């Protein structure tokens, strides 16, 4: 495997963590290039379950290097907690983790503003993870953000912290919210700065030197295509570019050094938070929640669930240039007698093969379904594609054909081994 970008082809939570962990065997360096600790990537190793938020999913493997790139927004307190959580469970986090000095910091006022803005939106809220992601990227674009590199000098960091705190407290007060006290926050941030200093590096230079030495990079996308700030269901999106291009801008690795794009998608669809979701279906939600599936790894919220939406995945294949597909959670449909797949939308008497670009129009789209017979058998023990029930094979082949990419991986369970390679 040469340099590979892995993206979510739906609304996030596609099972990217598991697939990254699986593919890490064939990579040397795993890179996160966007998002922050709004992500929740679950990896199951034997009886142990790990949920990673900021640290790339390669960290569980010995000898692999993990890079948090310049495009990520880093909550220093959350990162320190995550590092300690891993080391407490026997995972080594040391020279195998690099943190870009250009990555922006998530500050306490970002979290407070995220919460306040959501509150004030009332029923029009986005349903964010309240991790301060939007306000942090907002400050980055407004050129008023603090960066990881600022953590290197405690004195100037303190000065910047005081200044930004004053500015943002004025905003919080104007929203009727409580201002943030300087202490204990400054103290906590300075302690985190000290803890993180050994990891800080110019990751662009590191990645380029590594490529010169023939190292293979795996870019771990967070969120999914339709949460992309530019191309998703705006404004019901996150604040970064979750699509393939984000891997370049968020890491400093140019487009022509990328070799393949892998799209990860569930065999059905889920979404957490508000926004359009044409194939949403209460029956599918009840079924999956009843199986104990589809509760958020970051916020614990029950995910909205529905049928597979090939209109969405087809457009995702286009935007990301998806070469290969990893279809996850096939086992979630093991006991569904008739499975629906959306092949087109109906909107104002017209049949659409691609989603509309405006959320209000997208909300009005009605799915046109094709039905597939279910296989009514457990699939989790299957390791060979040819051993899957014929109806399951037909189903995943149809998903790949409708999406327009090569089927490469089918996941039939959360465990590392519960994977079929084609
Ligand atoms: P992973 O990497 C699913 C959603 C939130 C909300 C919207 C904006 O685990 O797939 P934000 O806090 O980013 O401002 O919230 O985006 N969201 C996710 N949904 N998976 C994620 O990450 C998500 N990260 C953010 O629920 O609708
Ligand atoms: Mg998740």
Could you state, in order of their start, the residue ranges of all structural domains in the chain? 4-100+199-261, 104-196, 265-421
pLDDT per residue as tens digits for the range 146-167: 999 999 999 999 999 999 999 9
Domain 4-100+199-261: give its CATH superfamily.
Adenylosuccinate Synthetase, subunit A, domain 1 (3.40.440.10)
Separation of CA 374 and ligand 1 centre (Å): 30
CATH class assigned to 265-421? alpha beta
Nearest to 39, CA basis, from 77, 70, 8? 8
Contact residues for 416 (Cβ-Cβ < 8 A; gap 6+): 18, 21, 22, 43, 44, 45
* pLDDT for position 46: 85
Cα 29 to Cα 9: distance, rounded to the nearest angstrom = 22
In the prediction, which pLDDT does 44 show? 93
Looking at the chain, the whole-number percentage of residues with pLDDT higher than 70 is: 100
Ligand 1 closest atom vs CA 274: 27
**Is the pLDDT at 202 greater than 90, yes or no?**
yes
CATH of 104-196, one of 3.40.1520.20, 1.10.300.10, 3.40.50.2300, 3.30.70.260: 1.10.300.10
Which of 41, 72, 82, 223 should be mutated for ligand 1, with most atoms under 8 A from CB?
223
Residue 259 CA to ligand 2 centre (angstroms): 25
Average pLDDT, the chain: 97
Whether the full predicted model's pTM is greater than 0.85, yes or no, is yes
Question: Would you name the residues annotated as active-site residues?
Answer: 13, 41
Expressed in angstroms and rounded, the spacing between residue 296 Cα and the centre of ligand 2 is: 6
390-403 vs 310-320: helix crossing angle, rounded to 10: 50
Across residues 124-153, what is the average pLDDT?
98
What is the band of 1 on the pLDDT scale with cuts at 50, 70, 90? low
Over residues 371-397, mean pLDDT? 98
Determine the distance separating the centroid of ligand 2 and the alpha carbon of 130, expressed in angstroms: 14
- Nearest-CA neighbor of 39 among 246, 323, 194? 246
User: In the prediction, which pLDDT does 297 show?
Assistant: 85
Q: Kindly provide the b/e burial profile for residues 313-328, where b requires at least 16 CB atoms within 10 angstroms of the residue's own CB.
A: bbbbbebbbbbbbbbb
Per-residue pLDDT tens over the stretch 100-122: 999 999 999 999 999 999 999 99
Q: Output the pLDDT for position 298.
A: 84
Ligand 1 pocket list (CB less than 6 A): 8, 12-13, 38-41, 126-129, 131, 133-134, 222-224, 227, 238-239, 272-273
**In the structure, what pLDDT confidence band is assigned to residue 299 with cuts at 50, 70 and 90?**
confident
Residue of 227, 275, 298 with the most ligand 1 atoms within 8 Å of its CB, for mutation: 227
Mean pLDDT computed over 95-100: 98
- pLDDT level of residue 76 (50, 70, 90 thresholds): very high
* C-alpha 9, offset from chain centre: 10
Ligand 1 atom nearest the C-alpha of 222 is 2
Over 70: is that where the pLDDT of 321 sits?
yes
């Amino acid at each position: 495997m040469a340099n590979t970008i892995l993206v979510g082809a739906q609304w996030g939570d596609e099972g990217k963590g598991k697939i990254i962990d699986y593919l890490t065997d064939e990579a040397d360096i795993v890179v996160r290039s966007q998002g922050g600790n709004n992500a929740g990537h679950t990896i199951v190793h034997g009886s142990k379950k790990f949920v990673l938020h900021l640290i790339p999913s390669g960290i569980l493997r010995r000898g692999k290097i993990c890079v948090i790139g310049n495009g990520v927004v880093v909550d220093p307190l959350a990162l320190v907690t995550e590092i300690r959580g891993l080391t407490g469970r026997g995972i080594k986090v040391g020279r195998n983790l690099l943190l870009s000095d250009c990555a922006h910091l998530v500050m306490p006022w970002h979290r407070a503003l995220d919460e306040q803005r959501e509150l004030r939106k009332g029923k029009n809220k986005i349903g964010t993870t309240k991790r301060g992601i939007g306000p942090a990227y907002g400050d980055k674009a407004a050129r008023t953000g603090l960066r990881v590199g600022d953590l290197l000098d405690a004195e100037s960091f303190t000065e910047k912290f005081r200044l930004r705190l004053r500015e943002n407290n004025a905003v919080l007060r104007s929203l009727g919210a409580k201002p943030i006290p300087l202490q204990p926050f400054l103290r906590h941030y300075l302690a985190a700065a000290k803890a993180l200093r050994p990891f800080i590096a110019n990751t662009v230079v590191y990645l380029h030197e590594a490529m010169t030495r023939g190292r293979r990079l795996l870019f771990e996308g967070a969120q999914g295509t339709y949460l992309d700030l530019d191309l998703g269901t705006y404004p019901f999106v996150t604040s970064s570019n979750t699509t393939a291009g984000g891997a370049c801008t968020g890491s400093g690795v140019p487009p022509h050094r990328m070799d393949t794009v892998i799209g990860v998608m569930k065999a059905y669809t889920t979404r957490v938070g508000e926004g359009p979701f044409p194939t949403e279906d209460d029956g599918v939600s009840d079924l999956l929640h009843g199986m104990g599936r589809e509760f958020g790894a970051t916020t614990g919220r029950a995910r909205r669930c529905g049928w597979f939406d090939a209109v969405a995945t087809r457009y995702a294949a286009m935007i990301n240039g998806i070469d290969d597909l990893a279809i996850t959670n096939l086992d979630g449909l093991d006991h569904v007698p008739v499975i629906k797949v959306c092949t087109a939308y109906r909107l104002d008497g017209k049949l659409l093969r691609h989603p509309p670009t405006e959320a209000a129009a997208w909300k009005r789209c009605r799915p046109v379904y094709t039905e597939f017979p279910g296989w009514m058998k457990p699939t989790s023990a299957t390791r060979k594609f040819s051993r899957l029930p014929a109806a399951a094979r037909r189903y995943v082949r149809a998903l790949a054909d409708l999406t327009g990419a090569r089927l490469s991986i089918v996941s039939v369970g959360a465990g590392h081994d519960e994977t079929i390679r084609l």
